[in-house]
Chains A and B, each alone.
Chain A
Amino acid sequence: MIRVELLRRDNPSRALRLLSPLIGLSLALITGAIMFSLMGKNPAAALYVYFIEPLTEAWSVHELLIKAAPLILMGAGLSICYLSNNWNIGAEGQFIMGALAGSIFPVLFTDFQNPMVLPLMFIFAVAGGALWAGIPALLKARFNTNEILVSLMLVYVAERILDYLVRGPWRNPGGMNFPESVRFHSYARVPEIMPWDGRANLGIVIAILVAIALWFMLSRTLKGFEVKVIGASPRAGRFAGFSSKGMIFFSFLVAGGCAGLAGIIEVAGASAQLRPIISPGYGFTAIIVAFLGRLNPLGAIAAGLILALTYLGGEAAQISLQISDKASRVFQGTLLLYILACDTLIHYRIRFSRKPAAKGIEQAAASSEQQPPAAERAV
């Protein structure tokens, strides 16, 4: 039997720190190719349709940028949370609440049409997302409540609020009873960058600027230092006089604000109205973006583009190769698992050792003896 052993490196490997996302990505691509051939498709053709073809035409590059914007925004925001050891996994809910808060103007005040509308929508969206993220932050800081579970539960609650609004009070009165809001007027739309070329809007520019700002905060300011110290060692943070409660609020509000902004960019950009479902799981994919970007907001830009490609490629492969669009979700999941495994290589060397056969048998016997009785019953 071959054993895997981890040996701690004296110094974390610099080369692997850069390479680990790339290794993870390559392994995920190989796994994807195997998955496609198991599904009876030509893996080379499938990978081409997934990852190359969308980049060859102008319109689909525009679509890529539309999908990348919310992923970059949320991935960069979540990086701050995860770096400071705050496990916000409810970006999807914060995205929805931001979209709802920002949509108040075009949906309820349809006569209010001037250039002030869009900035107000952005402000409300940031506030909406931040407030929704503030709930788990407050509960964690005040009562020590588990933020993972609270932030996730609030996703389900937000989904139901959205559903209620678009089927009830916010439904378009002239919309043939479809569950959707009125279409946003032109002042309430995120302007397109090059309308003659494709649909991409200013959202991607905003996302990149926010990511750069967050990177600057992290790497060049005291606040960023505080994020990293508290994340690495809350004890050291306390000695330095940093408040870990303050950090809970800071990281959740930043991530929530980013998610809210992403929400309004999505609905005021490409879709131009509210529907019962406004996100194909962007909030959860953003978790992968954060980790693929190695919790660096600049890395989140590249990672956001790559994961946007999996959405777009998934759609393309469904049309041209009849590959289920669910395959891209499997790809996203395996990608995250590979990245996490590769991150281990930064701090550890792997040693494979072969154990003598006799000892192996002895151990197998011992392990079957030690098996919990409850486990046997379950099987």
Chain B
Amino acid sequence: MELTLAILLTIITAATPLLLAATGELVVERSGVLNLGVEGMMIMGAVGGFVMAYLTGNPLLGIAFAVLLGMAMALLFGFLVLTFATNQYATGLALTILGLGLAALIGEGFVGRAGIRPPNLYIPGISDIPFIGPLLFGRDVLFYISITLVAGVMWFLFRTRQGLTLRAIGDNHHSAHALGIKVIRYRYLAVLFGGACAGLAGAHLSLVYTPQWSENMTAGRGWIALALVVFASWRPLRVLAGAYLFGAVSIGQLHAQAIGIAIPSQALSALPYVATIIVLVIISQNRRLTMINTPASLGKSFVPDR
């Protein structure tokens, strides 16, 4: 029981940054924009969150600053891709390269310092319920944000007029434009939302998951988040399931390493990446499912004719 609880807790912790970043990217991709810069926005969130929390002693300020930096990176991406109609693939890659470099530069003086973890929620009585209490009612603020975000995005995309409009833009930006919808404005907002989420994910890494800063600490999680969106075939609930599945895989390999299973540790640590590939293959085999859900304008530039 104790061990199960401990494992479940770590799985939740490992899954939360993936869930945050993937939920944001899902909205971006639903609007027809492919932002491959998740990794770069996430690492900027990680360094920004850590540095701000370290300097002010307030982890909540750190989280806010992480969101701000994530959005600043997203704005840069949006300006190039939406206003300048640059190639989305290459621009996303550039954003990742820039983010990794910039974060390494900013965080250089902070390597090895102890980070400041935001306090866990504690509701007297409820958080004391055995098992369920600590599992669900005693977590950090970002866990609750991640769950709320999934619910909010589901509601927004499938229950509001603006959500419908956003999905319409993602499916056919020319028709949406012809109907008088502000394609570029919607996309800016979606991209900024994605940046905010990636910033939150980064803050989770450097404040909650491992409260410290180290270079390249995102370790490809931004890319796994991108894969999760494909895996989830652009549905928020499936992103939730996928994130927890991946959390379980990465925690499972850590436990296997700790027990000392006679497999090289490198093979185990490669597992999340191999699992990503396998899952992508399985999903893409089902062409019908992919065809129905893929936003048809995904990755294509749009220049409004006036």
Binding site for B on A (CB under 8 A): 4-6, 8, 82, 87, 89, 139, 143-146, 148-150, 152-154, 156-157, 160-161, 163-164, 168, 284, 287-288, 291, 324, 326-334, 336-337, 340-341, 343-344, 348, 367, 370-375, 377-379
Q: Looking across the interface, which residue of chain A has its beta carbon closest to that of B268?
A: A160
A378 touching B86 by the CB < 8 A rule?
no
Digitize B76-120: 1 where CB-to-A-CB distance is under 8 Å, 0 elsewhere: 100010011111011101110111111011001000000000000
Does B290 count as interface, using CB distance less than 8 angstroms?
Answer: yes
Interface pairs (27), CB distance under 8 Å: A143-B285, A145-B280, A145-B284, A148-B36, A149-B277, A150-B280, A153-B223, A154-B273, A157-B270, A164-B266, A287-B90, A324-B105, A326-B101, A327-B101, A329-B104, A330-B105, A333-B102, A336-B93, A337-B91, A337-B95, A340-B87, A340-B91, A341-B84, A370-B182, A371-B189, A374-B149, A379-B196
How would you classify the secondary structure of chain B's contact residues: helix, strand, loop or mixed? helix
Q: 9 nearest interchain CB pairs?
A: A333-B98, A329-B101, A336-B94, A164-B266, A160-B266, A326-B105, A375-B193, A374-B152, A330-B101
Which of B76, B230, B274 is A153 in contact with, Cβ under 8 Å? B274
Residue of B nearest to A164 (CB): B266
Nearest Cβ on chain B to A90's Cβ, whole angstroms: 11
Residue of B nearest to A6 (CB): B303
- How far is B196's CA from A284's CA once the two chains are assembled, in angstroms? 25
What separation, in Å, do the CA atoms of A145 and B196 have in the docked complex? 28
Contact A373 B97 (CB under 8 A): no
Evaluate contact between A160 and B149: CB separation under 8 angstroms. Answer: no
Stretch from B50-58, B160-168, B172-180, B243-251 contacting the other chain? B160-168
Q: Are B287 and A144 in contact (CB under 8 A)?
A: yes
Known: A163-B266, A372-B189, A379-B67. A148 touches B89 (CB 8 A): yes
- A217–B99 CA distance with the chains assembled, in angstroms: 36
Q: How many of chain B's residues have a CB under 8 angstroms from any CB in A?
A: 71
- Contact check, A143 vs B86: say whether CB atoms are below 8 A apart: no
B269 interface residue per 8 A CB criterion: yes
- On chain B, the residues within 8 Å of A340 by CB distance are 80, 84, 86-87, 90-91, 94
Asked whether A344 and B85 contact (CB < 8 A) given A153-B276, A156-B273, the answer is yes
8 Å CB contacts to A: which residues of B149-204? 149, 152-153, 155-156, 160, 162-163, 166, 182, 185-186, 189-190, 192-193, 196-197, 200
B210 within 8 A of A: no
B160 touches A373 (CB 8 A): yes
A372 touches which one: B67, B190, B276, B287 (CB < 8 A)?
B190
Minimum CB–CB distance from B187 to chain A (whole Å) comes to: 12
Query: Distance in Å from the Cβ of A156 to the closest Cβ of chain B?
Result: 4
Contacts of B264 in A (CB 8 A): 164, 168
Interchain nearest-CB distance for B23 vs A (Å): 9
